[in-house]
A and B are shown apart, each in its own frame.
Chain A
């Protein structure tokens, strides 16, 4: 028995890669469904905050990511945009990351078509602007100074939904979907703490633990962490079998496989240690 654990301890890492690949692929092929239960988590806090906003409020959504984090953040973007449209809130899209503007456009335009929302009346995409935190500070005094036109070069003055918007103080909520820097932290520091604008967000799972501190201090109203956060929001909004919810089944099976490997690795380690100790 001890020999088995020793052999397991020396397992070729390529076998582990194959087993993880199978743990991901098999649930996808078999359409395995593991229910996604949403508890009292920061994702529910963000949902509740959006839900409580009065109709017609202006919500700024910053798409601060690129295709490398698409599997985690695009489902989040779609679920958030759908919720904002369902609640008849005005969406002002923008991006701190160059490719985020195109990904945001994809999420907003596809959902706007299906929900009957009109560009420039219900939603607008201002596009990408460089500068990160410095640019956010400028938004605090004048958004039109930073974005004189939208992404398609339509002048600010010709966009009806922007008529009453001057600066960040006219925004009821900023939601940053962030894959790193510049992203949520810049929004919290430069918009939330300076201009008292409520900040919500979604991020990759890697950066989630770092952002939990801002929830505890109420510097953020809610947070979607990784694919689980996206799945939570899809569930809360009522998107059936959305990409994130579908992704949670292979995610859960792969987690179980990894936990199993960690247990086996530890048992192998301690049995080898005991064997060496006995030999002495």
Chain B
């Protein structure tokens, strides 16, 4: 039995089942969808146990050289607290674990996020004008005008009339250009996935049909 060819056929048939939704909802699509969801859930449970829980928690609690690290019981208890959400009477315990995750995440990200995504961007916008070739300066001016007019569009404490209105119009135009670029990239991404599937069907699956029928090499 050639497992490679069975894998290719399974992949091809499931791909066709999923694409059949483009015609209309049907049992083949439903089957492939449910199979995907079920397999994903099973895969992730097993993956998490063997690649996250065991190496990061269990192996630390019971090291290879023997012994027992008592302190590792604490994260285990917090992990159990997370599951407490499923039992209404003790669901409140999960807040302790969630609080710890949110607190640690916020503490770690607050300064870094502000530094990387706000300060660095503001600095980049302000100082970009003063350097580079004539084209770079022109490009930077567009950036500055775009940022300022975009911000004016979201400034609602003054009526969008006169100079403010005209600036806001420039802002919305720039935003539309940005959304257009984003839409174009999204189309490219979706088409890339379609190309990947078509490539699989044409170059991996179709050549197996003559082999199965005993035609050609």
- A residues touching B (Cβ–Cβ < 8 Å)? 14, 17, 20-21, 24-25, 28-29, 68-72, 98, 128, 130, 133-134, 137, 188-190, 192-194, 204-206, 208-209, 213, 216-219, 225-228, 243, 246-247, 250-251, 254-255, 258
- In the complex, which residues 119-137 of chain B have their Cβ closer than 8 Å to any Cβ of chain A? 120-121, 123-124, 128
Closest 10 CB pairs of A and B: A71-B196, A217-B124, A205-B189, A205-B188, A205-B185, A227-B192, A206-B189, A189-B116, A209-B182, A72-B192
- B residues touching A (Cβ–Cβ < 8 Å)? 22-23, 47, 51-52, 56, 104, 108-109, 112-113, 115-117, 120-121, 123-124, 128, 143, 178, 181-182, 185-189, 191-199, 202
Contact A226 B185 (CB under 8 A): yes
Shortest C-beta distance, B120 to chain A (Å), equals 5
Shortest C-beta distance, B40 to chain A (Å), equals 11
Contact B143 A204 (CB under 8 A): no
Q: Which of A24, A128, A189, A208 contacts B51 (CB 8 A)?
A: A128
Shortest C-beta distance, B97 to chain A (Å), equals 16
Interface of B is mostly: helix
Of the A-B pairs whose beta carbons lie under 8 Å apart in the complex, a sample of 28, sorted by A's number, is: A14-B23, A17-B22, A21-B198, A28-B195, A28-B202, A71-B197, A72-B189, A98-B47, A133-B108, A189-B113, A193-B115, A204-B189, A205-B186, A205-B188, A205-B192, A208-B185, A209-B181, A209-B185, A213-B121, A217-B124, A219-B120, A227-B195, A228-B188, A247-B199, A251-B188, A251-B192, A254-B194, A258-B187
> Do A206 and B124 form a contact, CB below 8 Å, given A25-B202, A71-B192, A247-B195?
no
Shortest C-beta distance, A123 to chain B (Å), equals 22
Shortest C-beta distance, B98 to chain A (Å), equals 16
